[in-house]
Amino acid sequence: MQVVGVTTQQEIFVASRDRKFEINEILLIEDSERSNPCGEVVETQSFNRYIPLSTEHNAIVDEKVILALKAVGYEIDKEEINLAKLRIIGEISTPVSVGSKVRLPDFGEVSDLLLQVKPQQGLTLGEIRGTGSLFSTMPGELQKVLAMYEGNRVALQKSVPFVFNYKAMNEYPHIGIFGGSGSGKSFGLRVVIEEFMKKPVPGLVLDPHYEMDFSRDFPGLKPEQCYNYRDRFLLFSVGREVGVNFEDLDTGALKGLLGAGEQLTEAMDNAVGVLHSRKDSYTSFNSKIKYMMLALEGTEPEGLAGAERKIYEAMLKIKDRVGHLATVRGIAWRLNNLFHEGLFASNTRPIEDALMAGKTAVLRGPLKLLQIYGAYVFDRLYKKRRDYRDACQKGESGDWFPPFVIYTDEAHSFAMKGDRDTLSKRVIKTIAQEGRKYGVNICLATQRPALLDDTVTAQLNTKIIFRTVRSHDIDVIKEETDLGPEESRRLPYLNSGNAFISSAITGRAIPIRFRCASTVSPHGINPFDELAEYFSDHEQTLWSAVRELLPIEEGGEHIFLPLLEKKLGKNITAQEMFALMEKYVAEGKILKEKALFGNKYLLYNK
């Protein structure tokens, strides 16, 4: 392999007669004047005499390269020529010498370029593509740090691991995960969360699809490849285990909640401001709303006494400041909706406890409710962390609250580009802009980067880009990352699970394939496999229960039935039990003999 054509400080061409180049592989250029720089293959092509190079319309080579190939002795019309475009990694101040020899490096020669931190110190997300040739020269301890998933099977690691130096997020915070449908975002997000949980870094996951459960091992992994996350995460349903403590709401937060789905009108905003006071419980605020509506209608309720009467009179006094009946009705309707979602029945305490114990809290619920609740919780926990840090800064002692990472899929619906101002957008924007100071990071996945708020996109210092087909989204990616034109051209064709990581932390865009997740989403199983598994499990339980009771005799139902029912935990009739025995006999599992009161069913070896 040798350098041909015109070279620049950034790009060179390498030609070879006998070796095909692999996309993304790293080659070493023997040019000692420039300390033997390395380059990554960003485009490759092979030619033979049947496809004359000079007449082809060609993206990689131009006339100059062809002339250069001829000049160094290639007979381009007669032999096969493999050509690669290399992008130089790192900076060199003068162009590489043409004619320099090029070879595959050993792992040791490029380890600094590929591995910033050891697997134990970072997030082991996958393999670096194009590094297969380095595997054999890599130290043994790096050869078995992850499992891959290829062609529906778990496979061995074959390349250099990609280890993300997450501690550098202190300087370059936040992660964006972009890619079209089925490109591997959710799978990748799962791997990212798993790695953070291993450290452990506390986290908060919004899970509208009920898929972020980490208790089930990925099928096909060997026991030593599995990892037990069961004590690293907790699942919470919004409106059941977790909610909002109404008494904790200040007027701003209440406005935020009421306006989280659809922005409050100016009149509503004003009315909530007049009606709500810091001490209100849900009941007292709700009564105010009720009596304000009556006051505005002008119908005095009969038989009002005591506290109720007082509220009504208070409402009469302030009704002019509140405005119109329709406004208060609108507020009542929204409040009632939140109440019926169960939002005020519990509080955020379980989530706070989970984070303080270093765990990841997974919040579940319908997307709309999660949007509202997620924004409220992000805001609340972010403030807790900020208050603590600010207190430390001032030399005061505040209540400790840990740094944490927020993860969400479908992120564009939380921080949508455009004028619509929602609490979730405001909160995510604030955290995107200032979270770094407080150690609060966000990890946002979306199919539609073009729809994500610009300020938020710009703050995502690490972008993980999967297959993307829409030109709008590709344009945003081109603008917001350091992907070169060659990489951008490849975006629509990436296989699921392959991605580019463009990050201030890695310094250059790195092509990776995500590792096999160590856990699987409950929906990750093929529904037909699930059915087969269910029935085989069910069969297994039944058979082992029966087996322990054998021999079973007709006439002895009163003894066997209750025992079998106890083992199975459900009722069963004598008819069903004997039908089952007949089935086992037909399957050759058990033996049938004549006995005193009818048939006797027993195991073969008894």
Ligand X SMILES: Nc1ncnc2c1ncn2[C@@H]1O[C@H](COP(=O)(O)OP(=O)(O)OP(=O)(O)O)[C@@H](O)[C@H]1O
Residue 84 falls in which region: left (phi positive, over 0), alpha (psi -120 to 50) or beta: beta
- Candidates 116, 91, 113; CA nearest to 168 is 116
Binding ligand X by CB under 6 A: which of 130, 208, 497, 511? 497
Residues 6+ apart with CB under 8 A from 319: 292, 295, 296
Residue with the shortest CB distance to Mg ion: 186
399 near 392, Cβ under 8 Å? no
Binders in 338-367 for ligand X, by CB under 6 A: none
Applying CB under 6 A, does 181 fall inside the site for ligand X?
yes
Residue with the shortest CB distance to ligand X: 497
* Contact code string over 128-157 relative to ligand X, x by CB under 6 A: ---------------------x--------
Nearer to Mg ion, 186 or 481 (CB): 186
* Contact code string over 502-541 relative to ligand X, x by CB under 6 A: ------------x---------------------------
CB of 413 to ligand X, least distance (A): 13
Give me 137's structure tokens.
Answer: 């020269």
Task: Choose the binding region for ligand X from 6-14, 53-61, 178-186, 236-244 (rule: CB under 6 A).
Answer: 178-186
User: Which residues bind to Mg ion, rule: CB under 5 A?
Assistant: 186
Nearer to ligand X, 181 or 299 (CB): 181
- Candidates 484, 517, 600; CA nearest to 551 is 600
Residues 6+ apart with CB under 8 A from 373: 238, 242, 243, 244, 343, 363, 365
Nearer to Mg ion, 280 or 410 (CB): 410
Nearer to Mg ion, 186 or 462 (CB): 186
Give me 308's structure tokens.
Answer: 């109720």
183 binds, among ligand X, Mg ion, none (CB under 5 to 8 A by kind): ligand X
497 binds, among Mg ion, ligand X, none (CB under 5 to 8 A by kind): ligand X
Applying CB under 6 A, does 39 fall inside the site for ligand X?
no
Cα–Cα dist 193/204, whole Å: 10
Determine if the peptide bond prior to 200 is cis (ω within 30°).
yes
218 binds, among Mg ion, ligand X, none (CB under 5 to 8 A by kind): none
> Is 601 buried (19+), middle (13-18) or exposed (0-12) by CB count in 10 A?
buried
Binders in 196-235 for ligand X, by CB under 6 A: none
Binding ligand X by CB under 6 A: which of 122, 179, 203, 365? 179
447 binds, among Mg ion, ligand X, none (CB under 5 to 8 A by kind): ligand X
Nearer to ligand X, 183 or 348 (CB): 183
* Contact code string over 415-454 relative to ligand X, x by CB under 6 A: --------------------------------x-------
Give me 73's structure tokens.
Answer: 């002795």
Give me 30's structure tokens.
Answer: 């023997």
CB of 124 to ligand X, least distance (A): 13
CB of 149 to ligand X, least distance (A): 4
CB of 447 to ligand X, least distance (A): 5
Applying CB under 6 A, does 183 fall inside the site for ligand X?
yes
Chain center to CA of 469: 20
HSE, CB side, 13 Å, CA atoms: give it for residue 198: 19
Nearer to ligand X, 215 or 526 (CB): 526
DSSP string for 419-487: S---HHHHHHHHHHHHHHHHTEEEEEEES-GGGB-HHHHHH--EEEE-----HHHHHHHHHHS---HHH
Nearer to ligand X, 150 or 421 (CB): 150
Binding ligand X by CB under 6 A: which of 186, 327, 462, 502? 186
Residues 6+ apart with CB under 8 A from 348: 242, 243, 244, 245, 377, 380, 381
- Total number of residues that touch ligand X (CB under 6 A): 13
Which H or E run includes 4?
strand 2-4
Determine if the peptide bond prior to 551 is cis (ω within 30°).
yes
Binding ligand X by CB under 6 A: which of 85, 129, 174, 185? 185
- Residue 593, number of CB atoms within 10 A of its CB: 10
List interacting residues with ligand X (CB under 6 A).
149, 179, 181-187, 447, 496-497, 514
